[in-house]
């Protein structure tokens, strides 16, 4: 069983439900056999929405020293700060090698939320939900400086914005991904996207 603590954004209808379902799938798929050593794993699900892009990043550090160092830093904090410290540290590790660009220009997150989980063996995992405004057409690229540990998948079930001609297979894991490209069409909403995103609250 996975025990989770952390923060999620205010529910946004079907979008959040799909996020939760995807994260559960990541958690279940990533469980190693008890007592076995395992390398670090970073799973990235790119979810294309009408006006924005959401990245659902799951990260589990390698067994041994890597996990022990992360846990030690959290334990060293006052009891009221332990979970926050663990979430911040794990979230930073999860996102560190990833760069998201549209037509070569780095995208700035509009919101970031993280959730920490411990499995029955006490091994930490983190799930990070990051959103980016994407109100125009262009080439979306997700690059990883650590492709050895990175698996990427993508979904576009409602917006119809991904140009499928040269897109990687949808809803499948692409392992050891150093660069992942999706060509996006302009959103059907057009100017409505810019208005809605300009009124969306950002998160630290």
Strand boundaries in 40-137, DSSP class E: 41-48, 52-60, 98-102, 105-106, 109-118, 124-133
Structural domain contains residue 85: yes
* Measured distance between the N- and C-terminal CA atoms of the chain, rounded to whole angstroms: 30
Structural domain contains residue 13: yes
pTM of the model: 0.79
Q: Say which residue, 39 or 172, is predicted with more confidence.
A: 172
Structural domain contains residue 68: yes
Q: How confident is the model at residue 202 (pLDDT cuts 50, 70, 90)?
A: very low
Q: What is the pLDDT of residue 137?
A: 94
Q: What is the pLDDT of residue 28?
A: 46
**Over the stretch 78-87, which tens digit does the pLDDT of each residue have?**
666 767 878 8
Tally of domains in the chain:
1
Structural domain contains residue 204: no
Q: How confident is the model at residue 129 (pLDDT cuts 50, 70, 90)?
A: very high
Structural domain contains residue 174: yes
CA distance 71 to 88: 12
- Region 136-151 average pLDDT: 95
DSSP state for residue 168 in the 8-state scheme: P
Q: What is the pLDDT of residue 1?
A: 46
Domain around 46: 3-198
- Region 92-112 average pLDDT: 95
Q: Say which residue, 7 or 160, is predicted with more confidence.
A: 160
HSE on the CB side for 1, CA within 13 Å?
1
Tell me phi and psi for residue 6, to 5 degrees. 150, -155
């Amino acid at each position: 069983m996975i025990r989770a603590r952390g923060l999620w954004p205010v529910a946004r209808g079907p979008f959040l439900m799909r996020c939760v379902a995807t994260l559960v799938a990541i958690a279940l798929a990533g469980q190693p056999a008890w007592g076995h050593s395992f390398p670090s794993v970073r799973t990235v699900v790119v979810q294309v929405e009408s006006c924005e892009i959401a990245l659902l990043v799951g990260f589990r550090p390698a067994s041994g020293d890597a996990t022990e160092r992360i846990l030690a830093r959290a334990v060293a904090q006052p009891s009221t700060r332990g979970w926050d410290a663990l979430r911040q540290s794990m979230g930073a590790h999860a996102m560190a090698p990833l760069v998201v660009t549209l037509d070569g220009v780095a995208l700035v997150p509009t919101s970031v939320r993280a959730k920490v989980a411990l499995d029955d063996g006490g091994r930490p995992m983190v799930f990070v939900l990051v959103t980016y405004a994407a109100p125009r057409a262009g080439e979306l690229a997700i690059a990883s400086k650590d492709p050895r540990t990175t698996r990427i998948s993508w979904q576009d079930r409602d917006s119809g914005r991904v140009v499928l001609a040269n897109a990687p297979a949808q809803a499948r894991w692409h392992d050891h991904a150093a660069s992942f490209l999706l060509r996006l069409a302009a959103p059907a909403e057009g100017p409505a996207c810019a208005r809605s995103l300009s009124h969306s609250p950002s998160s630290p």
